Copies of this chain bind each other. A is one copy, B any other.
Amino acid sequence: MAPSDTEQQLFDAALTLFARHGKAGARMQAIADEAGLNKAMLHYYFRSKDQLYEAVFGYAMQQFMASFDNALRTASSFGEALRLFIDGYITFCKHHTDAMRLLVNENLRGGSLVGQHLQQLKATAPDAPPQLMLRTIERAVASGEIRPVDADHTLLSIVSGCLFPFIARPTAEVLHPEAAQWDAFVEARKQHLFDLLYHGLRTDTPSA
């Protein structure tokens, strides 16, 4: 069932405002305004604010997971997988900033939605991107391609490096004013992060 135009507009507006102001801070009136419609339509399509939020959150999560899937499966070496993962992650954040913000927000608040959706995902798709990357790391350790690091911590480090600039953008912009051209800064980050992590993980280091 394809959602109607109206429903889609409301949905998009909700994503934007929930991401910007959080679940509690976003106003149904503001969402309706953003969509160029009225509150009654919001309730007509989504019943309540709670249900609207859950729908939006589920969508963000799904969109997020889908964004790496293909990339990761084509990698033929750990280095390539690492680069694809980093590039994919950062590109996703750049183009779907609202979705990312929503996910981080929910995590930060310790909401139960994160656990629910992840558990479900783990059950229905045991080789979703996070697990896939975990196993990629474990294989690379086993084959000696990288040092014997803890896979969970390593994945956390990779993800954090990708996400953090978006989370801490206001701080980053003060510390690094030249980054006024945000897009260039984000692009440069892909390369920096790959270098740092690849050097940090690989077994042998031929001198330059």
Contacts and interface: CB of A to CB of B under 8 A. Distances in A.
Interface string A104-145: 111111110011001100100000001100100000000000
A112 to B, nearest CB: 8
Chain A interface mostly: helix
Interface in A60-93: none
A153 interface: yes
Nearest to A178: B152
A207 to B, nearest CB: 7
A134 B114 CA distance: 35
A105 B107 contact: no
A2 interface: no
Interface in A150-204: 150, 152-157, 159-161, 163-165, 167-176, 179, 188-189, 192-193, 195-201, 203-204
Contact of A160 (B105, B147, B155, B164): B164
Nearest to A152: B176
Contacts of A122: 174
Interface of A: 20-25, 101, 104-111, 114-115, 118-119, 122, 130-131, 134, 147, 149-150, 152-157, 159-161, 163-165, 167-176, 179, 188-189, 192-193, 195-201, 203-205, 207
